[in-house]
Each structure stands twice: as C-alpha cells, then as structure tokens.
C-alpha cells in the first residue's frame, strides 16, 4: 500500500488491470480513504462544464493559479465521457453530481466511472393548472460513517399566481450497494419551498441551498447528511427587491465566511462597485450581521456593466465570481473579502469551438483532494 500511494491516480487506474487482487485492493474503501488522508493537500482544482444550444456538453479540469503567475489558469484535461449529461456541477470530496432527464448521475473524474441512480417516485403530482419544478440534487459526505448521500428536493406549484399552493418534499439516497431513495420526514416547523438555481453550498456533512417559500421571501435550507434532518433559516428581508421573480438569476449566493454561513449580496456590484456580506451569527435565533464592501476605484472597471454570479470560495476564503454570459473570453474573478481586493484570472486552453457562440456554463472546485472511491452499484 505504501508503494501504491506514491503513484498518481492515473497510474492506479492502470494498475487495477494487473490482477483481481490489485483491483480489489485499489478499489477498496479502506485504500481510498487512506489515499485521501495521506496525500499532500493541494489547491482545489477547478472544473468547468459548458453546454451549447444543441445540447453538446464538455467537462474541463482547470489548474489552480501558480505562485509565479496569478493572471491566468490553464485547461488541463477534457474529462467528458459519453452519456455524462447534466449541466449544473455539484461536487464533494472527489465526486460530482449531475442530473439528466430527471435522474441523478454520479461521476468520478479520477476513475471516469459514471453511475445513474433510479428515478424518484414522488408522492406529489402536478394537477391541472400546476407545474412541477425541476428536481434539484445535492451531494454530501458524512465523515463519521464515511458515507456519501444524495438529497433531492421535489416541488410543485400553481402557474398563476406563481409559487401559489406550493408543495415540496425531500428524498435521500445513500451511495452503497443496494441503495434506494428514502423519503425524508420534515419537522413540524417545515416550510414548503422551491429551490433556487443558484446559491448552493456543501460544508462538511451539511448541504445548504437557497429557496423560495413564496414570491417575496427567501430562506436557507440546511440538510444534515448524518441525521437526515432539515433546518430552514429565514433570510433578512433587506437583501430582497420589492418584487422578486425566482426564475431570474439571484444576486445573492451562499458562501462560507470565517467558518460561518454567509450570503454575498452583489446586486450593486456592477453599477456602484459595492456588495453586502450577511453573516449568520446565531442559527437558532436567525440573527444576521451585515458588512458592506466597496471596491477600490482602480478595480471598478472589472465589474462595470457585467452580470456576475458566485461560483464558490477558495480554501483561503476568496469568493470566485464569474460572468453570467461567457463566450468571447473565458475568465473568473477572485474577490478577497478580507483585503477588499479583486483579481481577474483568465482561463486559457478552452477549445476554440466554444468561442463566439451562445453557451451555458457552471463552475465549481473540488474540495481538498480528488478521490479514487469506487462507485458501488
């Protein structure tokens, strides 16, 4: 094992062909965890998913900024495989979660293994005059039991008024042999809601996302992977417009700030060069503190007239911002909230076929280290 752990993951994949014993050893949960905890920690690698109007998709791994040159990153590898599907990236501890045709798919970019989960047989059905929202899948990991779980939120509501007669339910799937979807029983103070497209975060064994219980209020939903319990936290009304349409991309996103849940509200960033940071100080009392950030005048040109969305945070707490529309030039912005410093980083090596055409994209970083975990079916 000591010898094998010195090799890169690409070599370990080839070594599985040596014998059944080697394949069993390298694929074992024990070896995977040992590899995960002993390898040298590196900067999380960025992953970018692109999709065009024709349905063509590509998944690219991107290098982290080097110490010598922090003005650009480079596409290292095309990790796309046939039938991968999906668009929105949801990643945790080496695994990615996509959805395609209402089914969840788990993808390990290290082993190129793809697992499609069975469809959910929901208990709520849209009737005439109602619409069923796209199911949202989130993946998390419980370090105590060393178990990966998927959480799915299903919601229906009336067409007019929007989000009227809203109903939602939640299902959980443990990634293990013979696993199946199990319905989550909510607590008494549960509020039915529709998940937002943006505003998702995974920290430890807790999955969080922003959601709408109605047209004018927003909440943070927390799901504990270990206990399988939901907690709903109201969001300060001050961060909302008077009339919010949930279908529009939110200018408020979940991040981690100093080990606490925070909402980065950046609706004024492109026009006024300012953003608000709301930090959840007390979960039980839903108490939030507010901090206003104002960009340096010399950096205002980086955000002027550009619609931006948050795509996660780095290990040292920098917020990753990306333009909503990105087709002529590919780049991201790193925002250091402590020093109030904004830095533009160009993404080089994107295939030429993706330039100068309409495309949708998602961006995320793999936390801590890649995984060699074998997906059991």
Question: Is 5 inside any structural domain?
Answer: no
Taking a C-beta distance cutoff of 8 angstroms, is the pair 229, 187 a contact? yes
- Residue 40 confidence (pLDDT): 43
Distant-in-sequence contacts of 4-10, Cβ < 8 A, 24+ apart: 4/31, 5/34, 5/35, 5/38, 5/39, 9/110, 9/111, 9/370, 9/372
Task: Write out 341-376 in H/E/C secondary structure.
Answer: EEEEEEEECCCHHHCCCCEEEEEEECCCCCCCCCCC
Mean pLDDT of 23-49: 75
In the structure, what pLDDT confidence band is assigned to residue 9 with cuts at 50, 70 and 90?
confident
Question: Is 360 inside any structural domain?
Answer: yes
Which residues on neighbouring strands pair with residue 209, listed in sequence order?
200, 221
Q: Does a cis peptide bond (omega within 30 degrees of 0) precede residue 161?
A: yes
- Residue 67 confidence (pLDDT): 58
- Residue 178 confidence (pLDDT): 86
Question: Is 371 inside any structural domain?
Answer: no
Q: Which residue has the higher pLDDT, 65 or 17?
A: 17
In the structure, what pLDDT confidence band is assigned to residue 368 with cuts at 50, 70 and 90?
very low
- Residue 187 confidence (pLDDT): 86
- Residue 217 confidence (pLDDT): 86
- Residue 315 confidence (pLDDT): 74
Q: Is the pLDDT reported for residue 167 higher than 90? A: yes
In the structure, what pLDDT confidence band is assigned to residue 249 with cuts at 50, 70 and 90?
very low
- Residue 316 confidence (pLDDT): 78
Q: Is the pLDDT reported for residue 156 higher than 80? A: yes
Which residues on neighbouring strands pair with residue 231, listed in sequence order?
222
Question: Is 4 inside any structural domain?
Answer: no
- Residue 35 confidence (pLDDT): 76
Q: Which residue has the higher pLDDT, 200 or 155?
A: 155
CATH number at residue 212: 2.120.10
Q: Is the pLDDT reported for residue 39 higher than 60? A: no
Mean pLDDT of 319-335: 86
Report the mean per-residue pLDDT for the chain: 84
Question: Is 241 inside any structural domain?
Answer: yes
What strand order describes the sheet that includes 260-265? Answer: 252-257, 260-265, 274-282, 287-294
> What torsion, rounded to 10 degrees, do the Cα atoms 182, 187, 189, 191 define?
0
Least confident of 39-53, 91-105, 167-181, 332-346: 39-53
Q: Is the pLDDT reported for residue 43 higher than 70? A: no
- Residue 291 confidence (pLDDT): 92
Look up the domain containing 91 and give its range: 42-366
Q: Is the pLDDT reported for residue 376 higher than 90? A: no
Question: Is 2 inside any structural domain?
Answer: no
Parallel/antiparallel/unpaired status of strands 72-78 and 341-348: parallel
Question: Is 8 inside any structural domain?
Answer: no
In total, how many domains does the chain have? 1
Distance between CA atoms of residues 353 and 51, nearest Å: 12
- Residue 19 confidence (pLDDT): 94
pLDDT, tens digit (0-9, with 9 covering 90-100), for 75-87: 988 888 877 776 6
Which residues on neighbouring strands pair with residue 207, listed in sequence order?
202, 223
Q: Is the pLDDT reported for residue 172 higher than 90? A: yes
Residue 342 main-chain phi, psi, to 5 deg: -115, 135
Q: Is the pLDDT reported for residue 354 higher than 70? A: yes
In the structure, what pLDDT confidence band is assigned to residue 160 with cuts at 50, 70 and 90?
confident
Question: Is 35 inside any structural domain?
Answer: no
Q: Is the pLDDT reported for residue 343 higher than 70? A: yes
- Residue 367 confidence (pLDDT): 53
Taking a C-beta distance cutoff of 8 angstroms, is the pair 340, 19 a contact? no
pLDDT, tens digit (0-9, with 9 covering 90-100), for 223-240: 999 999 999 999 988 776
Parallel/antiparallel/unpaired status of strands 136-142 and 181-183: unpaired
- Residue 159 confidence (pLDDT): 84
- Residue 137 confidence (pLDDT): 92
- Residue 298 confidence (pLDDT): 92
Which element (helix H / strand E) includes 269? helix 269-272
Tokens of 294: 């104002």
- Residue 288 confidence (pLDDT): 95
pLDDT, tens digit (0-9, with 9 covering 90-100), for 119-151: 999 999 888 889 988 899 999 988 888 889 999
Q: Is the pLDDT reported for residue 189 higher than 90? A: no
């Amino acid at each position: 094992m000591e010898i094998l752990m010195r090799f890169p993951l690409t070599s370990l994949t080839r070594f599985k062909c040596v014998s059944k014993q080697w394949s069993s050893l390298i694929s074992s949960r024990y070896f995977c965890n040992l590899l995960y905890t002993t390898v040298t920690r590196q900067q999380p690698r960025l992953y970018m998913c692109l999709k065009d109007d024709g349905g063509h998709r590509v998944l690219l791994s991107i290098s982290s900024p080097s110490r010598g040159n922090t003005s650009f990153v480079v596409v290292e590898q095309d990790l796309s495989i046939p039938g991968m599907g999906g668009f929105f990236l949801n990643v945790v501890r080496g695994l990615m979660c996509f959805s395609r045709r209402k089914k969840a798919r788990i993808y390990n970019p290290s082993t190129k293994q793809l697992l499609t989960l069975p469809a959910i047989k929901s208990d709520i059905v849209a009737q005439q005059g109602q619409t069923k929202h796209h199911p949202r899948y989130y993946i998390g990991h419980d370090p105590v039991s060393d178990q990966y779980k998927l959480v799915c939120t299903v919601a229906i509501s009336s067409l007019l008024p929007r989000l009227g007669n809203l109903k939602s339910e939640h299902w959980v799937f443990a990634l293990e042999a013979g696993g199946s979807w199990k319905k989550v029983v909510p607590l008494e103070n549960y509020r039915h809601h529709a998940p937002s497209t943006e505003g998702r975060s995974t920290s430890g064994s807790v999955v969080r996302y922003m959601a709408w219980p109605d047209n004018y209020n927003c909440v943070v939903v927390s799901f504990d992977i270990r206990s399988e319990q939901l907690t709903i936290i109201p969001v300060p009304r001050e961060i909302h417009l008077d009339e919010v349409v949930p279908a529009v991309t939110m200018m408020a996103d979940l991040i981690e700030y100093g080990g606490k849940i925070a909402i980065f509200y950046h609706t004024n960033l492109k026009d006024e060069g300012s953003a608000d940071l709301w930090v959840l100080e007390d979960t039980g009392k839903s108490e939030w503190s507010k901090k206003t950030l104002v960009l340096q005048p010399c950096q205002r040109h980086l955000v002027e007239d550009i619609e931006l969305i948050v795509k996660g945070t780095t290990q040292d707490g920098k917020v990753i911002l990306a333009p909503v529309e990105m087709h002529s030039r590919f780049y991201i912005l790193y925002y250091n909230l402590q020093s109030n410093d904004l830095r533009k980083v160009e993404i080089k090596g994107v295939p030429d076929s993706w330039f100068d055409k309409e495309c949708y994209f998602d961006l995320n970083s793999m936390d801590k280290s890649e995984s060699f975990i074998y997906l059991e079916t």
